[in-house]
């Protein structure tokens, strides 16, 4: 630990920025005072042996005070409100959508006029895909950022972004944007300076004069895009060096062993916080620490850095929650919520990527046992943290759950994954899905899956063959998938276009800046005449839209759909049906999802386990009431049906 007096540094900074420590700013001062030793500790555990460590820690304390000072009064009031609410991200009232501004509505100026559409659907939380400067053709959908504080011209200006935030705030909508923490574009100012030979900025990246270390790193680092970007290093001819570029050659990995990088990126994080961001999506946090001889993913220091960020945010801009976009193995995902004394003190939110993939698994196999085998792991999530629950996003679907979960269901992991890949890429005779394999690794045959929700659920094929029954079936599948994410617990995040059933868009193949990346097939251009068809009776668009709208209304209606560690998975009486109970106080709702193409039978006994014996169940989805039958009789679920059954009349069994 450093030998500097942290309290003295607090006083210096508070005096400098005229903080009213006994009056208006008292709550901030207390947060700063209470948490500064943890900040110091975390910082030192990474940078203790760095020559600039002390200087940068002092600068960090200054920054914490400055950022608070510059935060608007409105945002400070929102902070206080969220703190008073406590764990606001757990609420059943939040439903999100992730969208590309340009593909959804042209530019930022066009967004406010679309808020009514989103409100009609019930969405009150938006994830705007990256809008900051990013070179055309070498952009990775905006995840190669050349300037973290300048909006890319075709999206508009910083003013337009502020305007969007303002409009959303007035409508009580929450905003999420990304901080791309792991890398910058090779056109970022730091990268340009590094390229021109500036040693200070070369130290912002992992740069090497020869292949000696890169070759060693490559031995243990997996490849993220093995087809389009093999290897983890790129040659930079201007300075005759090799730079680490884990994703694409134009995305240079930042070197967080350098405290200057940490402080500069923290400043960018705070820039977004003071813009009014409610949840910050920390892109690819698993990758931010590198160490020779490891995969360079999920390393303990990556967690330390995230905890440090969380502490800093809690002090200066506490209303902003952190989402860790860690799409890694289930056991590893859980660690992003924090462990040991940092339990629930790292990321507030993480993607439930395991559950998402397992729903796709169940849909293809009609077997929910692998999904069930994963739950013991997922239920470890600490109270106070939550998931993003989703069926699709802008990225591929990875089958990254554990082999042990597959074997627990009696399948062979390799063959099981092969079946799923064949099924969703449309290479299986039983499949009605239209998708594609993404990033096939020729060495391991690993691959992920691309395709929209609708196409993977069979709508594209059904429309192609004008098959009315198949269209109806694919809609049932779409709604089933959405329903499970809506009631599972966590913030449901819809993906734009899915609310009206957009199928794959193949135009990316004609664009050389995109054709190497088939994730673009599920990043549609919104055609508003299609979306307006929600107002035309019986269209596919209307059927899906109204169903999603109804799901959202139902989620918002029942408090128990908030994420209060109030979920119990039911005993699997039928392998085709996934089921859980959501409960709060004396209310309980049985949520059942039939992943079978045929009707599924469930013994009524299912409802009588766990010490309760309901006599009547009310289905919130259909409005039907069911009298609970005898143990040896059956409740019958239609193909791809789901039920949200509230016990309206029950007694506790003695």
Using CB under 6 A as the binding rule, whether residue 180 contacts ligand GLC is answered as yes
Per DSSP bridges, beta strands 125-128 and 174-180 are parallel
CA–CA distance, 451 with 205 (Å, rounded to integer): 34
- Enter the tokens of residue 569: 């998975």
Of 244 and 645, CB closest to ligand GLC: 244
DSSP 12-71: HHHHHTT--TTTTTHHHHHHHHHHHHHHHHHHHHHHTTSTTHHHHHHHHHHHHHHHHHHS
In the numeric block, the tokens 């409740």 are attached to 635
Burial label, 292 (beta-carbon count in 10 A; 0-12, 13-18, 19+) = exposed
**Three-class DSSP category at 323:** strand
- Enter the tokens of residue 478: 């779409």
**Three-class DSSP category at 73:** helix
Of 136 and 529, CB closest to ligand GLC: 136
**Three-class DSSP category at 593:** strand
Single out the residue of 174, 247, 495, 604 in contact with ligand GLC (rule: CB under 6 A). Answer: 247
CA–CA distance, 524 with 500 (Å, rounded to integer): 12
Q: Minimum distance between the CB of residue 131 and ligand GLC, rounded to whole angstroms? A: 14
Choose, from 79, 133, 223, 283, the residue flagged as catalytic.
283
CA–CA distance, 149 with 642 (Å, rounded to integer): 45
CA–CA distance, 242 with 135 (Å, rounded to integer): 21
Residues 266-285, one symbol each (x = binds ligand GLC by CB under 6 A, - = not), give -----------------xx-
Of 251 and 316, CB closest to ligand GLC: 251
CA–CA distance, 502 with 392 (Å, rounded to integer): 12
**Three-class DSSP category at 236:** strand
Residues 95-134, one symbol each (x = binds ligand GLC by CB under 6 A, - = not), give ----------------------------------------
Using CB under 6 A as the binding rule, whether residue 57 contacts ligand GLC is answered as no
Q: Minimum distance between the CB of residue 551 and ligand GLC, rounded to whole angstroms? A: 25
Burial pattern 324-345, b for ≥16 Cβ within 10 A else e, equals bbbbbbbeebbbbbbbeebebb
Choose, from 152, 325, 432, 517, the residue flagged as catalytic.
325
Of 250 and 423, CB closest to ligand GLC: 250
Q: Minimum distance between the CB of residue 297 and ligand GLC, rounded to whole angstroms? A: 12
Q: Minimum distance between the CB of residue 395 and ligand GLC, rounded to whole angstroms? A: 5
Stretch 617-646 residues interacting with ligand GLC (CB under 6 A):
none
Using CB under 6 A as the binding rule, whether residue 43 contacts ligand GLC is answered as no
Of 361 and 396, CB closest to ligand GLC: 396
Q: Minimum distance between the CB of residue 284 and ligand GLC, rounded to whole angstroms? A: 4
DSSP 148-192: EEEE-GGG--HHHHHHHHHHHHHTT-EEEEEEE-SEEETTSHHHH
Of 324 and 562, CB closest to ligand GLC: 324
Total site size for ligand GLC, rule CB under 6 A: 10
Closest CA relative to residue 243, chosen from 270, 210, 219, 220: 210
Segment contacting ligand GLC by CB under 6 A, of 1-9, 112-120, 136-144, 370-378: 136-144
Give 611's Cβ-side CA count (13 Å radius): 5
Q: Are 285 and 338 in contact (CB under 8 A)?
A: no
- Enter the tokens of residue 514: 């995109």
Helix (H) or strand (E) holding 528: helix 528-531
Of 191 and 284, CB closest to ligand GLC: 284
Q: Minimum distance between the CB of residue 134 and ligand GLC, rounded to whole angstroms? A: 11
Q: Minimum distance between the CB of residue 379 and ligand GLC, rounded to whole angstroms? A: 25
Segment contacting ligand GLC by CB under 6 A, of 35-43, 140-148, 454-462, 470-478: 140-148
Single out the residue of 25, 107, 133, 140 in contact with ligand GLC (rule: CB under 6 A). Answer: 140
Using CB under 6 A as the binding rule, whether residue 350 contacts ligand GLC is answered as no
Q: Minimum distance between the CB of residue 96 and ligand GLC, rounded to whole angstroms? A: 15
Q: Minimum distance between the CB of residue 180 and ligand GLC, rounded to whole angstroms? A: 6
**Whether residue 198 lies in the annotated active site:** no
Of 326 and 547, CB closest to ligand GLC: 326
Stretch 384-443 residues interacting with ligand GLC (CB under 6 A):
394-395
| H-helix segments, 366-433 | 369-378, 403-408, 413-424
Single out the residue of 53, 106, 141, 231 in contact with ligand GLC (rule: CB under 6 A). Answer: 141
Burial label, 157 (beta-carbon count in 10 A; 0-12, 13-18, 19+) = middle
Segment contacting ligand GLC by CB under 6 A, of 100-108, 113-121, 135-143, 236-244: 135-143
Instruction: Give residue number: closest CB to ligand GLC.
Output: 143
Of 394 and 514, CB closest to ligand GLC: 394
Of 142 and 501, CB closest to ligand GLC: 142
CA–CA distance, 506 with 521 (Å, rounded to integer): 5
Torsion of CA 497, 390, 397, 292, to 10 degrees: 130
Q: Minimum distance between the CB of residue 317 and ligand GLC, rounded to whole angstroms? A: 23
**Whether residue 325 lies in the annotated active site:** yes
Residues 283-322, one symbol each (x = binds ligand GLC by CB under 6 A, - = not), give xx--------------------------------------
Number of CB atoms found within 10 A of residue 138's CB: 16
Segment contacting ligand GLC by CB under 6 A, of 137-145, 369-377, 492-500, 577-585: 137-145
Using CB under 6 A as the binding rule, whether residue 143 contacts ligand GLC is answered as yes
Site residues for ligand GLC per CB under 6 A:
140-141, 143, 180, 247, 283-284, 325, 394-395
* Residues labelled catalytic: 283, 325
């Amino acid at each position: 630990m450093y030998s500097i007096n942290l309290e003295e540094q607090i006083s210096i900074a508070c005096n400098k920025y005229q903080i009213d420590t006994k009056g208006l700013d008292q709550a901030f001062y207390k947060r700063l005072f209470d948490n500064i030793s943890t900040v110091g500790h975390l910082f030192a555990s990474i940078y203790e042996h760095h020559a600039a460590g002390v200087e940068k820690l002092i600068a960090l304390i200054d920054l914490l005070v400055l950022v608070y000072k510059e935060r608007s009064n409105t945002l400070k009031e929102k902070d206080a409100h969220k703190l008073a609410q406590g764990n606001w991200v757990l609420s059943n009232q939040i439903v999100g959508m992730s969208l590309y501004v340009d593909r959804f509505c042209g530019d930022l100026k066009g967004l406010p006029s679309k808020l009514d559409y989103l409100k009609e659907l019930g969405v009150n939380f938006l994830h705007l895909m990256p809008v900051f400067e990013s070179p055309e053709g070498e952009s990775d959908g905006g995840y190669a950022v050349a300037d973290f504080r300048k909006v890319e011209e075709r999206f508009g200006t910083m003013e337009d972004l502020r305007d969007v935030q303002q409009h959303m705030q007035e409508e009580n909508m929450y905003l999420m944007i990304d901080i791309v923490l792991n890398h910058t574009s090779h056109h970022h100012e730091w990268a340009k300076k590094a390229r021109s030979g500036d040693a200070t900025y070369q130290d912002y990246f992992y740069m090497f004069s020869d292949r000696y270390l890169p070759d060693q790193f490559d031995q243990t680092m997996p490849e993220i895009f093995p087809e389009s970007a093999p290897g983890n290093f790129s040659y930079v001819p201007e300075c005759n060096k090799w730079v680490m570029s884990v994703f694409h050659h134009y995305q240079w990995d930042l070197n967080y062993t350098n405290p200057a990088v940490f402080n500069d990126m923290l400043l960018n994080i705070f820039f977004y916080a003071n813009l009014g961001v409610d949840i910050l999506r920390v892109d690819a946090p698993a990758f931010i620490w590198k160490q020779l001889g490891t995969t360079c993913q999920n390393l303990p220091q990556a967690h330390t850095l995230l905890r440090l960020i969380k502490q800093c945010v809690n002090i200066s801009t506490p209303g902003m929650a952190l989402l860790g976009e860690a799409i890694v193995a289930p056991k590893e995902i859980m660690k992003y919520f924090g462990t040991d004394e940092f339990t629930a003190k790292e990321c507030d939110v993480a993607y439930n990527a395991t559950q998402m993939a397992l729903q796709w698994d169940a849909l293809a196999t009609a077997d929910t046992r692998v999904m069930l085998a994963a739950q013991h792991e997922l239920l470890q999530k600490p109270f106070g943290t939550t998931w993003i629950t989703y069926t699709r996003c802008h990225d591929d679907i990875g089958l990254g759950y554990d082999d042990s979960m597959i074997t627990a269901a009696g399948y062979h992991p390799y063959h099981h994954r092969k079946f799923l890949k064949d099924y969703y890429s449309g290479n299986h005779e039983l499949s009605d899905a239209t998708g594609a394999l993404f990033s096939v690794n020729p060495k391991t045959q690993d691959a992920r899956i691309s395709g929209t929700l609708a196409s993977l659920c069979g709508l594209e094929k059904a429309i192609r063959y004008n098959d009315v029954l198949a269209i109806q079936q694919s809609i049932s599948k779409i709604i089933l998938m959405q329903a499970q994410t809506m009631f599972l617990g966590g913030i449901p995040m819809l993906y734009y276009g899915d609310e009206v059933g957009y199928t794959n868009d193949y135009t990316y193949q004609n664009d050389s800046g995109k054709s190497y990346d088939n994730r673009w097939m599920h990043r549609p251009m919104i055609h508003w005449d299609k979306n307006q068809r929600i107002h035309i009776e019986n269209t596919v668009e209307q059927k899906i839209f109204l169903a999603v709208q109804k799901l959202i209304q139902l989620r918002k209606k029942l408090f128990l759909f908030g994420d209060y560690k109030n979920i119990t998975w039911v005993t699997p009486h039928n392998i085709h049906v996934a089921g859980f109970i959501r409960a709060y106080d004396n209310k309980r709702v049985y949520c059942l999802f039939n992943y079978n193409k045929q009707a599924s039978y469930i013994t009524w006994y299912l409802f009588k386990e766990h010490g309760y014996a309901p006599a009547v169940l009310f289905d919130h989805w259909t409005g039907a009431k069911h009298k609970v039958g005898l143990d040896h009789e059956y409740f019958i679920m239609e193909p791809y049906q789901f039920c949200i059954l509230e016990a309206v009349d029950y007694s506790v069994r003695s």
